[in-house]
Each structure stands twice: as structure tokens, then as C-alpha cells.
Structure 1
């Protein structure tokens, strides 16, 4: 799977889970300000992404610093490239 395919899967998964419009799914979108997602949504986001990509996220300290969709893309790509 290419990096672009992974990014598209992230966007699609989050758009479906949180009823977001695909045009909103841009790398610079800030979760809280632009996508109206809060800390409770972050818990759901972890579950969705762990299931979608078969990776472990919740104990990864780096996840706490994610603020934008682009940050999330980079985080997931790094996890997939590490084989985690």
C-alpha cells in the first residue's frame, strides 16, 4: 500500500466515523478548530485507526502531540513503515 493510499484510508475512515465532508479532510485541518473534534473524539479516533491499520496507538506518547490531520497522516505513515 502506498503512502497516498494510506492517507486516503485515514481520511475516509475519519470522515465516515465522524460524519465529516471529504473536502474538509486537508492536511492543515486542525482537529479541534476545523473539524470540531474534541478529546473524547480522539479516543474513538484511536479505536478506528487501530482497527483500520492493525496497529497500536493508545500507548504511543507521540499521538498526544497530534493537532492536525497532516500530523496524523505522518504519525500513521511512520507507524506503518516501522511495522508496528
Structure 2
């Protein structure tokens, strides 16, 4: 899972499994809170799941400015390739 497409697919899988969000709704420009109806608890749950799946220490502050799916993809990409 080194490229952004793989990360996007991972996020689609997580969101469908954990939050029952259809994968076709998870697009790069989808806004987490407005379009996907995320809340702060959902965000924490997703960060925990990303930590499990990447094996990397995921810091919530790395994601605090994430507003879109693309923001999350970029944060995970930076984390994995750091």
C-alpha cells in the first residue's frame, strides 16, 4: 500500500465496513463531515483502524485538519512514506 489509489481503496473498505458508507460515495473530494456524515468519534475510530492496518503510529493531530477524503489519503500517504 504505497500509492494513493491503494490508500483510497483502503479508506473505501474501512468506511463501508465500519460506517456503512457506500464505497461510491467515498470520493477524493467528498467532505468527511458534510457529505459522509462523520463525527469526531468516527474520526477517532478511523484513525485507530488505520493504525492497525498500516502498522504505523498514527497521531490524531496529523488528521485534525483533514476535511476531505483526499486530505486523509494525503496524510496516510505521508505517514507510510515517511
| Aligned position for 2:8 | 7
Alpha-carbon distance between aligned partners in 2 of 1:11 and 1:55, rounded to the nearest angstrom: 19
TM-score (normalised: structure 1)? 0.86
Alpha-carbon distance between aligned partners in 1 of 2:75 and 2:35, rounded to the nearest angstrom: 19
> After TM superposition, which residue ranges in structure 1, 4 or more long, deviate above 4 angstroms?
none
Alpha-carbon distance between aligned partners in 2 of 1:44 and 1:70, rounded to the nearest angstrom: 18
- Unpaired stretches in structure 1, ≥5 consecutive residues: none
Alpha-carbon distance between aligned partners in 2 of 1:43 and 1:21, rounded to the nearest angstrom: 20
Equivalent pairs counted in the alignment come to 81
RMSD: 1.3
Q: Give the drift of 1:15.
A: 1.9
Partner-residue secondary structure (3-state), 2:31: coil
| Aligned position for 2:41 | 40
- Unpaired stretches in structure 2, ≥5 consecutive residues: none
